[in-house]
Amino acid sequence: MKYRESGMPIEELWQSFFNPVDTLKQMDVDKNIRILIDIGCGYGTFLLPATELVSGNVIGIDVDEKMIEVCENKIQDTSISNVHLINGDISTEDTIEQLKKYKAEIDYITLFNILHCEKPLYLLQSVYDVLNKNGKIGVIHWNHEETTPRGPSMKIRPKPETIIEWASKIGFTLKNQIDLPPYHFGLVFVK
């Protein structure tokens, strides 16, 4: 099931909100990572730059076939060979089981602009189950301010402190909290 309020604006506008390489670096995406999974990879805004920052492979998952097609087309135009795409629903057991095959090497999972979903604790638990021992998750989300030019409605938009509370309930430890101006914050957790 596609999560609530998870549609995307035109790509040009979406890209204008981020500096992906800087953000990924600040969020501990580095050569220690053998497999990075980007959940709800969208236009590949973070997925594609991540291919150059990790030592191994990146896996992008999106429930929206069109988003996967956009990523496929972009990859075709490059020499990138360490990316794998899955058109799947992360809220299903099937997708989780598919990912568990790689568990021993999954060192990082992104939850970028997605934790306003219907069942954030369930998503965090699934991610915890799939992640390697000592693996990290990176969470990015819109600042909890009415003035941001996009973002989910305020009633479902999670504050950083709420995400920290959810993640610690699951067993994650907060490693880093950063501002990602102009509109986002970032949290890195360790399993």
Ligand X SMILES: C[S@@+](CC[C@H](N)C(=O)[O-])C[C@H]1O[C@@H](n2cnc3c(N)ncnc32)[C@H](O)[C@@H]1O
Residues that bind ligand X (CB under 6 A): 1-3, 6, 8, 40-42, 45-46, 61-64, 67, 89-91, 112-114
- Given the complex with ligand X, which of 94 and 134 has the nearer CB atom? 94
What residue has token string 């030592």? 55
Cβ closer to ligand X: 67 or 188? 67
Cβ closest to ligand X, residue 40 vs residue 133: 40
Smallest separation, CB 88 to ligand X (Å): 7
Considering the complex, what minimum distance in angstroms separates the CB of residue 189 from ligand X? Answer: 17
Dihedral sign for Cα atoms in the order 100, 43, 182, 35: positive
Question: Least separation, in Å, of the C-beta of 113 and ligand X?
Answer: 4
User: C-beta of 171: minimal distance to ligand X in Å?
Assistant: 22
Closer CB to ligand X, 7 or 147, in the complex: 7
Comparing every residue's Cβ against ligand X, the nearest one is: 40
Which of 142, 86, 150, 74 has its CA nearest to residue 112?
A: 142
- The whole-angstrom separation of Cα 137 and Cα 167 is 10
